Amino acid sequence: MTHMIRIILTVSIGVLMLQGCAQTQPVKQNTTVPADAAEPVQPLSGAAVPEVDGKPTINADTGAKFEVVATAVRQQMQPGGRWQFVEKNERAMIDDSFADMSKLFGQFGSVDKMDDNAKVRLLADQSTVNAILTKKDGDRLICKSVIPVGSHLPVKTCRTYSQIQTEQRDTQNSLWKVNATRQQMHCGAQQNGSFIQC
């Protein structure tokens, strides 16, 4: 029995040493598309949204710059866009913030001419928009360490927020179709001599 434990410990230590020596490789995106996949959605054209450290930032110091950025964000919130998964209540918050920012720029023209109260309002609106867009960014990479069945070694998997949301939506649609089909199959069937009505 002790001989078997020694063998297991030796193998485990060897595996751990190999893990420590292994070099990590960058995560490669899956570029293959299944045959039954729908047509890929083309990215929306329009003005680019400014980013800081890969995160979207709504930071315009004049009314003209603000309108360009706001238009680009609204385009990217449409289906197929970078922020297509923004929910209705979040979209309403973004629209309210944009409306307030537009009102401020209409009143003062630029950030330099704003009084302190207006600057605070502008900053609060920008923070609200930036927080939502960062959270719902379809290009945001989410990584998890998962221990596969039959292994004790964790595997790091990374997917974009868009991939995760699309997979969840497709799974919900599949379940809905299965339930609808199952319900149609039972409609009109006999149970204890009587028909089931749907």
Q: What tens-digit pLDDT sequence spans the chain (198 residues)?
A: 554 444 444 434 443 333 333 333 333 333 333 333 333 333 344 456 666 776 666 667 888 889 999 999 999 999 999 999 999 999 999 999 999 999 999 999 999 999 999 999 999 999 999 999 999 999 999 999 999 999 999 999 999 999 999 999 999 999 998 888 887 776 655 556 565 565
- Choosing from 135, 155, 185, the residue where a domain stops is 135
- Spatial separation of the C-alpha atoms in residues 136 and 85, rounded to whole Å: 6
**Same structural domain, 101 and 166:** no
- Spatial separation of the C-alpha atoms in residues 101 and 96, rounded to whole Å: 9
**Same structural domain, 73 and 146:** no
Number of structural domains the chain divides into: 2
**Same structural domain, 186 and 154:** yes
- Choosing from 96, 113, 135, the residue where a domain stops is 135
**Same structural domain, 129 and 56:** yes
Q: For residue range 98-124, list pLDDT tens digits in order.
A: 999 999 999 999 999 999 999 999 999
Q: Sign (positive/negative) of CA torsion 148, 151, 152, 153?
A: negative
Residue 175: give the domain boundaries.
140-198
What is the phi/psi pair of residue 155, to 5°?
-120, 130
Predicted local confidence at residue 54, as pLDDT: 67
Q: Is the residue at 30 inside a domain?
A: no
Predicted local confidence at residue 55, as pLDDT: 64
* β-bridge partners, 146: 155
What SS3 state is found at 177?
helix
Query: What is the dihedral angle through the alpha carbons of 71, 74, 80, 86, rounded to the nearest 10 degrees?
Result: 160
**Same structural domain, 165 and 120:** no
